[in-house]
């Protein structure tokens, strides 16, 4: 099964959007056509994006999605620092990318241009490409 690192903006879309692409992505995750992986950084960012009045309702929904949530560790922290230092990615994106690298993931679902700087390490792809990979 294909493992895809999912950036925060697309997790937010899974939780809040009624767009057909997100419905299909959610179904692909449920049907285990792909394995969605997120960093604990994404979990923290989601709480911030949803806000103090909205996060409690969506937190259970987020945790019920068929996703692997990867804890940060020393290796991820060091890689994130290196990514930030060498490629100038924001620290949050560096932590997310380092999580994917640590899990040997080849693709990140993102529309964030910051990830273009590390496309030889972990390739940014859009939701349309992910859905094609699901078959």
Domain 2-134 has CATH 3.40.50.1010: yes
- 109 in Cβ contact with 2 (< 8 Å): no
- Entry pTM: 0.94
DSSP assignment letter at 17: -
Q: What is the pLDDT of residues 25-35, one digit of tens each?
A: 999 999 999 99
Spatial distance between the Cα atoms of 34 and 130, rounded to a whole number of angstroms? 9
Q: What is the pLDDT of residues 61-118, one digit of tens each?
A: 888 889 999 999 999 999 999 999 999 999 999 999 999 999 999 999 999 999 999 9
Helix (H) or strand (E) holding 84: helix 74-87
Of the candidates 58, 32, 36, which has an alpha carbon nearest to the alpha carbon of residue 47?
Answer: 58
């Amino acid at each position: 099964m294909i493992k895809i690192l999912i950036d925060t903006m697309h997790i937010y879309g899974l939780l809040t959007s009624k767009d057909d692409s997100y419905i299909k992505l959610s179904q692909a995750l449920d049907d285990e056509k792909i394995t969605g992986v997120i960093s604990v950084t994404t979990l923290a960012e989601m709480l911030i994006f949803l806000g103090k009045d909205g996060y409690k309702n969506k937190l259970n929904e987020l945790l019920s999605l068929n996703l692997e949530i990867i804890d940060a560790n020393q290796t991820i922290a060091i890689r994130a620092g290196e990514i930030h230092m060498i490629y100038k990615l924001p620290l949050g994106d560096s932590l997310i990318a380092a999580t994917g690298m640590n899990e040997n993931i080849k693709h990140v679902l993102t529309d964030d241009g910051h990830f273009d700087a590390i496309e030889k390490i972990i390739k940014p792809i859009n939701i349309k490409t992910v859905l094609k990979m699901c078959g």
